[in-house]
Chains A and B, each alone.
Chain A
């Protein structure tokens, strides 16, 4: 196969566009939210995004504690229930779970009993369980929430992390808290609520909220837009590039010695 000048020109343009878009991908932004500092408050999903470290900090009274929740918007999720039929495991029913956030992280202070304390205060995964609405045509197992939690945890989209919140020494009756966690690469685009609940004397006190934004930028945004707005062009381009790459490699292999 002859590699024409027109083909070389198109390949060069494509490589140039891809490289430029990758280089334009920017890093992370940081901005202070009133009362709650979220760093970064905007996560830019670029071509090299593999998750992001997130830090949430603020000041509370020296005697208080704080529990941080990061949650995505509530969504309706459709699931399949598996059961044994003869020797095989197959779908035996469908279940719809409503009022559950797409993403939910709970960051707790140091100490073993904070999981139980959060639960007794109506915070953490237990409160998700209580407000979850289940709809199903089949018999729903009693441990449906445990199964759901296991599924989400395997995707790193749900978690409770004891010890994620640390405090500085108290000064003038106040102390500084810092909560650290990792946001997985599987997080969906959109806005997330960051809520710090102050625990005063063992009971829930005031709340400070902030917002975390996850957005796509650069080449990732360009590809998604093209795939959405120009579907046929996207599909045909994918085929042409694949064909060109395949045939080009065929030609290169022949020129480097061939197989005859």
Chain B
């Protein structure tokens, strides 16, 4: 029996265990942290010889499966804030549509790939660094101090949130907030996600934690719910516009990823919020360092296919 399978759209032969294994690892991260995994899987697939456009589009397709599985698991655990998710999703669609137009302009100006990479490095560096420092401080405080008696001073950001109109109760997240905030932040994430070509989960999770002040376990489920719809849209658009969705590649990835997502969702309930944040921060920082390394290190060949093959 051959362990190799030919991918009809990628026009490339791959080892079955390798692709299924990659799917499992990314599915695990998806269920554990609520990130789609696109920011990890796409570079890995490219590394194994899959053309970048096919890698990104097919990855979106497998994320549909992983996030559907993960969302369902979190829904059963009561970890999905549908009300918040829908507001973020509406913003994400608006931002994503605008972002697609923006990327067209960037490509026309030239060096769009470099701009995308440097945006990744800055975003990942900022998000990962902030999460790591904040979580480590949180863990240290909980070890050192007993019950906190002094009520912390309300920040300007918190005051601003309270002053916004149409305050609404998001019961599942336990917060009262104007829907303008998730709509606005969803739009911003949508723009970034479109530029970077990913579902946006790894940006959305810190936004929910730090800017929307949602509890981490609800964040994971709600993020998966949002990523699911973003990737459904991307898959259909890529299949229609670019014919880059490799059905077989996505199927192989999702075989591993649906199992991984279930395992990840269960593991996430056994970890503390700060632990989850630290692991995600480390993961984000590793990817950032890898990308930065790629930008400053001389390429092994100074000639590359236009548009990434």
- Please list the residues of chain A having a beta carbon within 8 angstroms of any beta carbon in chain B: 1, 45-51, 77-84, 87-91, 94-95, 141, 144, 147-148, 150-151, 154, 185-186, 188-189, 216, 219-221, 223-224, 227-228, 231-232, 234-239, 241-243, 245-247, 249-251, 253-254, 258-260
Contact = CB atoms under 8 A, between A and B. Distances in A.
Contact of A249 (B8, B243, B258): B258
Given A1-B72, A254-B76, A259 B11 contact: no
Given A90-B114, A216-B8, A223-B8, 14 more contacts: A90-B295, A150-B303, A186-B12, A186-B49, A231-B239, A232-B236, A232-B240, A239-B61, A239-B236, A242-B62, A242-B65, A242-B68, A242-B250, A260-B77
B279 interface: no
B4 A231 contact: no
B296 interface: yes
B61 to A, nearest CB: 5
A78 B305 CA distance: 6
Contact of A47 (B6, B73, B266): B6
Interface in B1-35: 2, 4-6, 8-9, 11-13
B298 interface: yes
Contacts of A241: 247, 251
Which of A81, A82, A238, A242 has the most C-beta atoms of chain B within 10 angstroms of its own C-beta?
A242
Interface of B: 2, 4-6, 8-9, 11-13, 49, 61-62, 64-70, 72-73, 76-77, 110-111, 113-114, 118, 232, 235-240, 243, 245, 247-248, 250-251, 254-255, 258-259, 261-262, 265-266, 269, 295-299, 301-307
B68 A246 contact: yes
A79 B243 CA distance: 22
Contacts of B258: 245-246, 249-250
27 contacts: A1-B72, A47-B5, A49-B13, A50-B13, A78-B306, A78-B307, A80-B305, A88-B296, A89-B299, A91-B110, A91-B111, A91-B113, A91-B114, A148-B303, A186-B49, A223-B9, A228-B243, A231-B239, A231-B240, A232-B239, A238-B239, A239-B235, A241-B251, A242-B61, A246-B66, A246-B261, A259-B269
Contact of B248 (A221, A223, A236): A223
Contacts of A141: 302
Contacts of B49: 186
A83 B302 contact: yes
A100 B59 CA distance: 33
Contacts of B118: 88
B269 to A, nearest CB: 7
B114 A48 contact: no
A51 B13 contact: yes
A247 B68 contact: yes
Given A247-B69, A247-B72, A235 B250 contact: no
B82 to A, nearest CB: 16
A185 B8 CA distance: 11
A122 to B, nearest CB: 25
Contacts of A251: 72
A48 B5 contact: yes
Nearest to B260: A249
